[in-house]
């Protein structure tokens, strides 16, 4: 026993001898007031903008505003236990989120805490939510397509890997559905998808999760959820957190897709935080930096040069309009930042034309450079033909059309409109889109009544797999439409159109 005691005393003495004795300076702040997810803190003169602050209760927040004698701190939780007079410590760090393959297939909040009753995230690393956008010299041209599986988008407004395409429209006109169908269609690609819900209802988030799990590849998706009931701080950092999680894969040479649903609610949260932290309001009470807020976020999307790994990050931000007003403050900001917009029309939606894409106001500023060559070959005049049909249809309301050529053009346009309507959660393969556009171009669908087009589309996948499998595989692997594949598709579509024209004529 004495030997053990002597050994313990010797070890204790050696440890005490190595401890440096002296004074240590520690800055301590105090909470002046707290409410609505914002704490006003004083007493931390060395705090930095964006620094994480730790309260005595263990809750965290980040410094959003720095004034001469007070810090506006945004809480990252509903911290009911934070009250005036509590001690606050600076951490010297910024907000970080976990990244890595362990997040794939998981539902997490913006700081990486699981929301799916699964185990804790075994993150490979943690990264700051604010990252600089890649400089121009590190970027490459956007040339590879992102197949959405939605014919009206892939044929008329092709998306590219590294593009920022805004999805915009009124409330409940199918904006999220377009984005979700794009994610579902990536089950046959190598793209990693990140869905970010900002201020959405729990029921809406549950529908999105259910659709992707039922029809897509959820094991290659990350779901970042900041519901409407979440703290404003979590809703504010949600799109930045989702972008960081996607950048992990981009920086390793892979392709990623981020859906931000939606940035209108994010802007409202930013305005709420700004007003509560006493920032001067500007137009529509938004702070003056609301443009920079989304510009620095979306600028992080892009295609990296081969020297940087060649990865890409595609962004699909969603914005909501009021009564179709595209000239409102936030919509115009986002339209000016992005590389194009998919505009959804409420009138078309209520008439049953879904997805309700307004061909006249939608645009992709990257254009046909990213379109699959096979689809580009058969859709060259599609947008012009559709626009002419819509104009002719408007004028035909004033009187009957007697010219045979105009009648034929009207009938072709009716079939085109029926083709562009597409059911939810049913994306088309590239070969199927090429086959439909080819059949329309060559007049193979002229005998088919517009009402029979949906049945023809439902039968198309099995029909092509049976009658033109080689062409389907060739187009899917190369994206090109050679003469043999075109001939095989024409033969198969002619037979399918004849079958459905006969069935439609039968009593």
Q: What are the C-alpha distances in Å from 335 to residues 173, 199, 204, 275, 294?
A: 18, 21, 25, 25, 11
Contacts of 77 (CB under 8 A, 6+ apart): 59, 60, 231, 233, 234
According to the annotation, is 327 in a ligand binding site? no
Asked whether the beta carbons of 149 and 181 are under 8 A apart, the reply is yes
Helices (H), 251-350: 263-276, 290-298, 329-337, 346-350
According to the annotation, is 176 in a ligand binding site? yes
Q: What are the C-alpha distances in Å from 320 to residues 70, 171, 345, 461, 490?
A: 35, 6, 12, 34, 41
Question: What are the b/e assignments for 110-145, b being 16+ CB within 10 Å?
Answer: bbbeeeeeeeebebeeebebeeebbeeeebbebebb
* Alpha-carbon span 429 to 165, nearest angstrom: 21
Asked whether the beta carbons of 178 and 244 are under 8 A apart, the reply is no
According to the annotation, is 225 in a ligand binding site? no
* Alpha-carbon span 181 to 217, nearest angstrom: 12
SS3 397: coil
* Alpha-carbon span 247 to 131, nearest angstrom: 9
Residue 432, both tokens: 């199927």
Contacts of 38 (CB under 8 A, 6+ apart): 72, 73, 74, 75, 232, 273, 276, 277
Q: What are the C-alpha distances in Å from 240 to residues 103, 237, 263, 297?
A: 16, 5, 11, 7
Q: What are the C-alpha distances in Å from 372 to residues 143, 216, 301, 378, 478?
A: 9, 22, 21, 11, 9
According to the annotation, is 172 in a ligand binding site? yes
SS3 87: strand
What is the distance of C-alpha 396 from the center of its chain? 40
According to the annotation, is 175 in a ligand binding site? yes
Question: What are the b/e assignments for 220-255, b being 16+ CB within 10 Å?
Answer: bbbbbbbbeebbbbbbbbbbbbbbbbbbbbbbeebb
The dihedral built from the CA positions of residue 224, 226, 228 and 229, taken in this order, carries a sign that is positive
Which residues are part of the catalytic machinery? 365
According to the annotation, is 174 in a ligand binding site? yes
Binding site listing: 169-176
Binding site listing for ATP: 169-176
């Amino acid at each position: 026993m004495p030997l053990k005691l002597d050994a313990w005393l010797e070890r204790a003495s050696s440890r005490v001898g190595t401890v440096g004795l002296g004074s240590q300076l520690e800055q301590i702040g105090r909470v002046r007031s707290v409410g609505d997810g914002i704490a006003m803190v004083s007493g931390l003169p060395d705090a930095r903008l964006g620094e994480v602050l730790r309260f005595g209760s263990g809750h965290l927040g980040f410094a959003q505003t720095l004034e001469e004698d007070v810090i506006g701190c945004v809480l990252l939780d509903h911290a009911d236990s934070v009250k005036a007079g509590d001690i606050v410590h600076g951490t010297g760090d910024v907000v970080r989120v976990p990244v890595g393959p362990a997040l794939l297939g998981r539902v997490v909040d913006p700081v990486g805490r699981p929301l799916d009753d699964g185990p804790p995230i075994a993150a490979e690393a943690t990264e700051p939510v604010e990252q600089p956008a890649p400089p121009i010299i590190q970027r490459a041209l956007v040339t590879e397509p992102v197949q959405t599986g939605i014919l009206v988008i892939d044929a008329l407004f092709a998306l590219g890997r590294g593009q920022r395409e805004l999805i915009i429209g009124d409330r409940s006109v199918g904006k999220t559905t377009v984005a979700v169908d794009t994610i579902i269609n990536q089950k046959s690609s190598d793209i990693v998808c990140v869905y970010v819900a900002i201020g959405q209802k729990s029921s809406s988030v549950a529908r999105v999760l259910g659709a992707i799990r039922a029809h897509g590849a959820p094991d290659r998706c990350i779901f970042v959820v900041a519901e409407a009931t979440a703290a404003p701080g979590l809703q504010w950092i949600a799109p930045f957190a989702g972008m960081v999680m996607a950048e992990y894969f981009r920086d390793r040479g892979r392709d990623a897709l981020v859906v931000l649903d939606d940035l209108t609610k994010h802007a409202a949260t930013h305005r709420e935080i700004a007003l509560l932290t006493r920032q001067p309001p500007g137009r529509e009470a938004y702070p003056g930096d609301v443009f920079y807020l989304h510009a620095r976020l979306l600028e992080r999307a892009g295609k990296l040069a081969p020297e940087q790994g060649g990865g890409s990050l595609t962004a699909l931000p969603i914005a909501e309009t009021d009564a179709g007003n595209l000239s409102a403050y936030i919509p115009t900001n986002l339209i000016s930042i992005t590389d194009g917009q998919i505009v959804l029309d409420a009138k078309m939606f209520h008439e049953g034309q879904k997805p309700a894409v307004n061909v006249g106001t939608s645009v992709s500023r990257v254009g046909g450079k990213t379109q699959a060559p096979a689809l580009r070959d058969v859709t060259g005049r599609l947008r012009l033909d559709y626009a002419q049909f819509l104009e002719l249809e408007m004028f035909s309301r004033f009187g009957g059309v007697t010219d045979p050529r105009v009648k034929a053009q009207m009938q072709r346009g009716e079939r085109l409109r029926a083709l562009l309507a597409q059911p939810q959660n049913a994306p088309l393969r590239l070969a199927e889109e090429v086959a439909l556009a080819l059949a329309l171009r060559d007049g193979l669908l002229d005998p088919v009544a517009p009402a029979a087009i949906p049945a023809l589309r439902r039968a198309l996948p099995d029909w092509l797999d049976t009658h033109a499998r080689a062409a389907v595989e060739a187009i899917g692997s190369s994206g090109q439409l050679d003469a043999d594949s075109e001939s095989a598709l024409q033969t198969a579509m002619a037979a399918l159109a004849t079958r459905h024209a006969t069935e439609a004529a039968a009593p």
